[in-house]
Amino acid sequence: MDTHATGQINAQGSSTPNEKATARPTRVRWTIFAIIFVLVVINLIDRVSLSIGMPTIAKEFNLSPTMQGVILSSFFWAYALLQIPGGWLIDKYGPRKIITGSTLMWGVFQTLAAFSTGGLSLLFTRMALGAAEAPLFPAGGKMNSLWLSSKERGRGAVLMDCGGPLGAALGGIIIAYMIVSLGSWRMVFAIAGVVTILLGWISWYYLRDNPALHPKVNQAELAQIYDDKRGVEATAEEEVVPKGIGVPMRSLTAILIGRAAWAMAWFGLLTWGPSYLSNARGFDLHSIGNATFIIFMAGAAGSLCGGFLFDMLIKRGVSHIVALKSLLTFSGLVTLAAFASLPYLSDPVIAVLVLSIASFFLLWGSIYWSFPALLAPKSRVGVVGGTMNMAGSTGGILVPILVGMIIEATGGYNGVLIFFACCAGMYVLGTCLIGSKTIRNT
């Protein structure tokens, strides 16, 4: 444990072995991750609102498929550019301040999107939304390293990341039904923005950067948090200032490749999935909402499944690197097979089932968020998480535009599905190239 945290633990009272054995530990760390989970859910609802509303908005603003792709992509322009600066700010000022500021700002820009007058103004608000949301996931990765032992980081990673597909699932059905019920996509965007602003206050009230400083954490929970990574040797190791980013370049490059390819498959499904269901499968808006809910709920379940499988393997003595690479590789191969089979399926119900299978296994990729806390020294977790998320965001930038171009060039979606299968293959390749002797703090 760092000396500051040790002092805080001792200042709170006795830490005798008898007290640790008899006290019932609080569970504040899981409340912290429940709040982050809710923020991610709202984050994705705000993001997916444009994808769900795009068929209606495109008609109102007379947008071509390529322009739709540019607008869907614009969120990731600022989002990607601010990942590393956001990670640096998280390491310098702490995740609590950055999460709160991020939440307040993205609520403001989501609200402003309701007042768009055309494609360009909508594009601007999406860029601003991307800039505001940029620090959230790296800040969650930082919280993972501060609040969880290595035995719990798999669950922490997926509790954060599974909010993504759950938000997409809920967003798909809620936004679709709200647009139909209220008769206005603008009112729906404004409501989503106001809810987000309220969550910013909750974040500031409850989150803390140091577990020992949280008023609701007791001694027994601190013992669990610091159980396996706070010996004298670990303290001396973490006090050494690391060189550069603190992760071997080979492993970092492989992670970036794998994460970018994973993100292209995931964000491709997220941004163009509703249009695929509408144009290629003939679904109406209600059916799109229902199908999107099923597909992304499967993704949320898959995300949780991957995290719990990872922690289970660790408890049974499997090394972190073997567990991570095995689960991620398997998820990529199943996803590849699912996307590659879709062009040959004519039944729309079967197509939704296969997309749900793809979403379930693809979202095992949530355990990628175990890497920053496991690979990097504590002083570099934010930057490593930001760098990894920048790679994913770059994939998010490219895939909506590429899909729009493929549709215009081919006049259909079969080429898009094969492209997604290729992305799944690159996700497997990048994962397999990660070095076998890079995991630390385990």
- Looking at residues 365-387, what average pLDDT do you find? 74
CATH number of 24-224+245-432: 1.20.1250.20
CA dihedral 271, 277, 280, 286 (to 10 degrees): -130
Quote the CA–CA distance of 230 and 441 in Å, as a whole number. 10
Q: What is the CA radius of gyration of the chain?
A: 22
DSSP state of 413: S
Residue with tokens 């095995």: 326
pLDDT digits (tens, 9 = 90+) for 395-441: 877 888 888 889 888 888 899 999 999 999 999 999 888 766 544 44
- 168-192 in b/e form (b: 16+ CB < 10 A) is bbbbbbbbbbbbeeeeebbebbbbb
Ranges of each domain in the chain: 24-224+245-432
Residues 237-287: pLDDT tens digits? 444 555 556 667 887 888 899 999 999 998 888 778 888 888 888 888 778
Residue with tokens 């908005």: 57
Reading the block at residue 435, the tokens are 């070095």
How many residues appear in the chain?
442
Residue 36 is predicted with a pLDDT of 87
| Structure token pair of residue 32 | 């912290």
pLDDT in tens, 341-360: 999 988 889 999 999 999 99
Which of 35-39, 171-175, 371-375 shows the lowest per-residue confidence on average (mean pLDDT)?
371-375
Distance of CA 131 to the CA centre of its chain: 15
Return the closest-CA partner of residue 269 out of 160, 355, 167. 355
Are the C-beta atoms of residues 367 and 228 closer than 8 Å to each other?
no
- Highest mean pLDDT out of 2-16, 68-82, 253-267: 253-267
Q: What is the pTM of this model?
A: 0.67
CA angle 439, 158, 331 (to 5 degrees): 75
Determine the Cα angle at 369 with ends 366 and 375, to 5°: 145
**pLDDT tens-digit readout, 427-437:** 999 988 876 65
Quick count: other Cβ atoms within 10 Å of Cβ 77? Answer: 19
Q: pLDDT, tens digit, for every residue of 189-240?
A: 888 888 889 888 888 888 888 888 888 888 887 887 776 544 333 433 444 5
Local confidence band at 19 (pLDDT 50, 70, 90 cut-offs): very low
Nearest to 139 by CA among 103, 193, 106, 192: 103
Cβ contact 352:295 at 8 Å: yes
